Amino acid sequence: MKIVAVCGMGIGTSVLLKMNAEKVLQDLGVDADIEAADIGVARGAAQTAEIVLTSQELAPEIGDVPAEVIVIENFFDLDEIHRKLSAAVR
Amino acid sequence: MALNLAEELSSIATNVAASDWRQAVRHAGDGLVAGGVTTEDYTDQMIAAVEEHGPYIVIAPGVALAHARPSESVKKGGLSWVSLASPVEFGHKSNDPVSLVIGLAALDHTAHIEVLRAVAGILSNPDTRSGLDAAASAEEVRSLLARAASPK
């Protein structure tokens, strides 16, 4: 499964999100590749991804993609990421 | 083995006055410049990023992670820490107002993963977080961060 974690500039928030999502997926026992991307390349990467993780502000910028777009409010909150990811991967 | 964030921070400022989000981000930028991490252009880029994409940098309640793309304005990777005297609105739907702005500069997309991991770990702990919010000096912040990094 391919997941893209998106942020505005590619060095901060997407990496954080990728890290925490990897932890959650490990807990869930799900095998997936998570790519951290900035909004510029995310649209392209999202074409072949199952899930896109991003923040509320950036979700509309991703546009129409086949992937499921999941909005995360608090990038530090593993419970939130756990809840939303487990609903999506089941 | 946790990374001691206190050693990674190029500057720490507490009780900083900022009248709006641009000033708050500018303070974080000033901290990076003071630490020799970035040039002043980077500060403008961090502000422009929010103007373009909205307050997506407010990644958790009360915390903004200001940053911009790797470029010639970044001399080396680094972090600055700005704790605000009074919280500031960034316009984020759920995580406003912001009381802590962390300025982040990295040379590429994978650098600083360990540092971000440490930041995430520390800020996810409610006790450490409230201690950090209340810290009145840079020394206090450093010792709280060092304590959080040491194994229990």
pLDDT digits 0-9 by tens, B13-61: 999 999 999 999 999 999 999 999 999 999 999 999 999 989 989 988 9
What is the model's pLDDT at position B105? 92
pLDDT score of B2: 61
> How confident is the model at residue A51, as a pLDDT?
95
- Express each pLDDT in A14-36 by its tens digit: 888 888 899 999 999 999 999 98
- Closest CB to A73: pick one of B68, B94, B116: B94
Task: Check if the beta carbon of residue A42 is closer than 8 Å to that of residue A10.
Answer: no
Mark yes or no for CB contact A19/B104 under 8 Å. no
Out of B27, B67, B92, B112, pick the active-site residue.
Answer: B67
Alpha carbon distance B57, B126 (integer Å) = 20
CA-based nearest residue to A7, from A51, A90, A81, A72: A72
Number of residues written out for chain B: 152
Domain count, chain B: 1
**Measured between alpha carbons, how far is A1 from B53 in angstroms, rounded to an integer?**
28
The token pair that represents A35 in the structure block: 């790519």
Q: Rounded to an integer, what distance in angstroms lies between the CA atom of residue A50 and that of residue B72?
A: 35
Q: What ranges in B36-104 are assigned the alpha helix state H?
A: 40-53
Task: Band the pLDDT of B122: cuts 50, 70, 90.
Answer: confident
Both structure tokens of A83: 């809840």
Please report, for the domain that includes residue B35, its CATH number: 3.40.930.10
CB contact under 8 A, B109 and A12: no
Per-residue pLDDT 10s for chain A (90 aa) are 999 999 877 777 788 888 889 999 999 999 999 998 888 888 889 899 999 999 888 888 888 899 999 999 888 888 999 999 999 987
Q: Measured between beta carbons, which residues in chain B are less than 8 angstroms from residue A8?
A: 49, 52-53, 56-57
Which among A19, A57, A73 is the nearest to B54, CB-wise?
Answer: A57
Strand order in the sheet with B9-16: B9-16, B78-88, B98-105, B63-67
Cβ of A61 under 8 Å from any chain B Cβ?
A: yes
Tell me, what's the pLDDT at B1? 46
Domain that holds residue B30: 5-149
Per the listing, tokens 């928030």 go with: A13
CA distance B22 to B49: 11
CA-CA distance, A38 to A57, in Å (whole number)?
A: 13
What is this model's ipTM?
0.76
Candidates A7, A17, A24, A67; catalytic one: A7
Interatomic CA distance for residues B20 and B50, integer angstroms: 13
- Chain B contact for A55 (CB, 8 A cutoff): yes
| This prediction's pTM | 0.87
Instruction: Please tell me which of the candidates A13, A38, A78 has its beta carbon nearest to residue B57.
Output: A13
A22 is catalytic: no
Q: Which of A22, A75, A80 to mutate to test the interface with B (most CBs of B within 10 A)?
A: A75
Alpha helices in A1-90, H assignment, sequence order: 13-28, 39-46, 59-62, 78-89
Domains of chain A: 2-89 (3.40.50.2300)
**Dist. CA A82–CA B137, nearest whole Å:** 35
Strand partners, A54: A71
- Three-state secondary structure call for residue B100: strand
**Of A39-48, B110-119, B141-150, the least confident:** B110-119
Cβ atoms B112, A15 nearer than 8 A: yes
Give the pLDDT confidence score for residue B151 in this predicted structure.
Answer: 57
Q: Would you state the structure tokens that stand for residue B151, as one six-digit string?
A: 């194994």
